Structure 1
């Protein structure tokens, strides 16, 4: 499991890495745990120096490892994926940030050891290539298991955000809003992704969704779900000229700001045109053009 670090207010630490994975846009991290100003035993420490306060994801990870050990003692027959899913399912459901920042949310070991209904852990649906068509529609089964002695009715909701953090249209992700899991049984809830749903240009890219299944007992089962909607790209050729209409000198530069994704790049010019492969959207341009007297 990949663990993010949080502070006492459940805010993600500035040093905690964010997803998705650069090479394949995979969903990371998986879960979050306290990792800011953690008091822990100091190696070789004695007396007043027996403990030390430190911050880091290396301070958050032991919380999750310890929680996994407690669950393994409670369920010795569970495999790694079952332990991982149970820890993710039982997080504090009030997490308001995307899955690429805290995964399922912040660890809650007390909830994990009493969880009656469990579901899938991280669901990564991969990349939907441009252009997006109805033929790319994909359905994934989310399986929930009830280990209790009473049936549980689940009410499902999802908070889905585009690459720009804005809520996505309901047509992109659809599912049955409720399901009943009998005692000792499992139930599959189909979730359908339709990448052809109309989106704001800035929403394309990594989609962050957190599926929350709330039982009639008030307990929640949280599953992070992510995928990558490949945006449209176009080739744009820029030509910068000085006040005499000649190609700009070598110390000329162009700043290109993507207003939809808040990405920016600076491009140097050496008298020649530059062709940039840009994501379709709205841009702001600013150039510094040198002129030799």
Structure 2
């Protein structure tokens, strides 16, 4: 259905649209990703995250010398009006540098997400970066692996 509505979109772009518009679930993002796919929302939504997720790699054990690691999430606004997205990261050890970003009509914008693994549990640490405004909701799953002692 989504491919029929957006015939110029390729596979990766369609996947990003589906992941971005998913309905978040209360379960760990490591197991469920962005959440439940919502094709109806994907068809209507004009803002998507270009990348399906953000993986910040592996922090090797021991963690007393870890440095925060960062990456960017890029958003695209295919609509005809500017959109200001409110950003609120969920899940430790993640933070986002800015609380909002404005995308011009037809434009893109990036936000920086940081994971600080110097504290907290070891293992696969998942989170989400919801970007919202009005009816627009863009979900980006986050991951960093804090290596366990071995």
- TM-score normalized with structure 1 length: 0.48
Q: 1:125 to 1:150 in 2, by over 3 A?
A: same
Equivalent pairs counted in the alignment come to 148
The aligned counterpart of 1:194 is 116
For 1:185, the equivalent position in structure 2 comes to 107
What are the equivalent positions in structure 2 for 1:21-100 lying under 5 Å apart?
70-93=1-24, 95-100=25-30
Does 2:74 correspond to 1:143? Answer: yes
Contact preservation (8 Å) 2:66, 2:117: no
**Paired residue for 1:214?**
132
- Cα deviations across residues 255-287 of structure 1 (Å, max 9, x unaligned)? xxxxxxxxxxxxxxxxxxxxxxxxxxxxxxxxx
SS of the residue corresponding to residue 131 of structure 1 reads: coil
Q: Does 1:130 align with 2:61?
A: yes
User: Is the CA contact 1:71–1:83 (under 8 Å) kept in the aligned structure 2?
Assistant: yes
- Structure 2: where are the runs of 5+ without partners? none
Alignment partners' CA distance in 1, 2:135 and 2:2:
22
Q: Max radius of gyration: which structure?
A: 1
Q: Which moved more, 1:147-156 or 1:122-131?
A: 122-131
Structure 1: 5+ residue stretches without partners: 1-69, 161-167, 234-293
SS at match of 2:52: coil
- TM-score by structure 2 length? 0.89
RMSD: 1.7
Cα deviation per residue 1:16-49 (whole Å; 9 max; x = unaligned)?
Answer: xxxxxxxxxxxxxxxxxxxxxxxxxxxxxxxxxx
Helix, strand or coil: the match of 2:75?
strand
Moved segments of 4+, more than 6 Å: none
Q: Is the 8 A contact 1:128 1:230 kept in 2?
A: yes
CA contact (8 A) 2:126 2:143 kept: yes
Q: Using CA pairs below 8 Å that are at least 6 residues apart, which structure has the higher relative contact order? A: 2
Structure 2 Cα separation of the partners of residues 91 and 101 of structure 1: 14
State the match for 1:45 in structure 2.
Answer: none
